[in-house]
Amino acid sequence: MIDPEQLQGRWVHSHEEDTEDEIVYRAESSGYDFPRSRGREALELNPDGSYSGVVPGPTDKPEATGGGGWTVEGDTLVLPDRTLEVTGVEEGVLRVKRPR
């Protein structure tokens, strides 16, 4: 079971670390030095339960997505536009199961 407090904050997709089975996000506050990229998805999970995000747009500029709220049900992060099965969250790294 995931503690919602562990998920609060801004999470940036670290696609270089993805595997066949998992998608990896890094906490923006972790100080991780991301390699250069044409754009990265980010999830903003606020303590008040609100959610927003960004994805790379067609010109590589970030575009806002989502909006709404987020909750945790067991090991599942429920967002307005999808659910993510959390496989691990520790030391500024969030791992979720890759959807099939």
What pTM was computed for the model? 0.91
pLDDT at 64: 83
Could you read off the pLDDT tens digit of each residue along the chain, which spans 100 residues?
899 999 999 999 999 999 999 999 999 988 898 988 888 999 999 999 999 999 888 877 788 887 899 999 999 999 998 999 999 999 999 999 998 7
- The three-state secondary structure class of 4 is helix
Per-residue tokens: 71 = 């909750």
Considering its fold, how many domains does the chain have in total? 1
Per-residue tokens: 91 = 């030391």
Domain range spanning residue 13?
Answer: 4-97
CATH number of the domain residue 10 falls in = 2.40.128
pLDDT at 4: 95
Q: Considering Cα of 60, then 63, then 66, then 72, what sign does the dihedral take?
A: positive
d(CA 83, CA 57): 22
- The three-state secondary structure class of 16 is helix
Q: What are phi and psi of 98, to 5 degrees?
A: -70, 130
